[in-house]
A and B are shown apart, each in its own frame.
Chain A
């Protein structure tokens, strides 16, 4: 695999993530625009991207802030939408185990869907010594792209006419993430049940239908998986 130092692994992580920016940038632009629409300043929404670094959670939080929800509901939404990081973090514990205890929090902070998938796929080739540096390079670039595109979106957002219905880009961003999350019949059931429950309960205050819908969807996925397994 060529030269084998941490520095070269770090730059290879950056290079491998450049194509992924194409997926990050429009999402960041939409987040920046959404921040402006709910009354945040460009600085505030950019700060949110820098500190939270979680696109789906930020978009939901912005919708809730726009709807006048209290901090508690925003935190609950952040928790639910980010639950998948529990899974990512436990899967990455091994590949990132060689990091010092000082760098581990940084590695955790930079964790997103893209570098999680990338680091796991490269672990076999890079091994335990280089994978953490590859992952950190990837995370650093994705973070910069995310913060930069949020600012750009907030900067441009004030100049874009409302007739363009740019708020429709928000569910389209979620759609981009949803499609690869549906991999088999149980996850399809989770999506259908979760989506239909959330739609039926969309009138509940503070978008609490989203939480109930998510629980129903998770239940449907688990139920179908267990039933399929029992039947062999």
Chain B
């Protein structure tokens, strides 16, 4: 991506992020989000975030890899347990990375 293309991309990203944050707040009193859309929006975080996590764990090389030889999956499961149990970002990242290095070091 060239310099100019990057800055145009960045400008568009900034505008999109701002419009989503400002739009409903600015329009409130005049318009409400329809109930069906509100209901759908509640599931956006779970669905999109899982879409970002699952492929990195279940198919790290671009193909399904289910089993004990997939160190990304094992490290990710350890990190998921820590994230669920402690709700701590730093600890989750440390455990996940540590588990990956450990598994690699053991040559599994």
Contacts and interface: CB of A to CB of B under 8 A. Distances in A.
A174 B6 contact: no
Interface centre among B1, B51, B75, B83 (most CB of A within 10 A): B51
Contacts, number: 265
Contact of A181 (B12, B45, B80): B45
Nearest to A179: B83
Given A84-B44, A168-B75, A175-B83, A22 B22 contact: no
B2 to A, nearest CB: 11
A140 interface: no
B14 interface: yes
Q: Which residue, of A39, A56, A175, A193, has the highest number of chain B Cβ atoms within 10 A?
A: A175
Given A39-B1, A86-B41, 13 more contacts: A23-B90, A51-B10, A51-B11, A83-B41, A90-B38, A93-B29, A104-B25, A108-B25, A164-B97, A179-B80, A182-B46, A199-B55, A199-B58
Interface string A207-232: 00110011111101110010000000
User: Chain B binding site: helix, strand, loop or mixed by DSSP?
Assistant: helix
Interface stretch (A6-14, A73-81, A117-125): A73-81
A26 B49 CA distance: 18
Contact of A26 (B9, B11, B39, B89): B89
Nearest to A69: B1
Interface of B: 1, 5-6, 8-14, 16-18, 20-26, 28-29, 32-33, 38-59, 62, 64, 72, 75-76, 79-80, 83-84, 87-90, 92-93, 96-97, 100-101, 104
Interface string A164-198: 11101111111111111110001110111111111
Interface residues of A, number: 96
Contacts of A174: 49, 52-53
B51 A197 contact: yes
Nearest to A27: B89
23 contacts: A24-B89, A44-B6, A47-B10, A56-B52, A78-B16, A84-B45, A86-B20, A87-B41, A89-B22, A93-B29, A104-B26, A169-B93, A171-B57, A172-B97, A175-B83, A177-B45, A178-B53, A179-B87, A194-B51, A199-B54, A210-B51, A214-B47, A217-B51
B16 A82 contact: yes
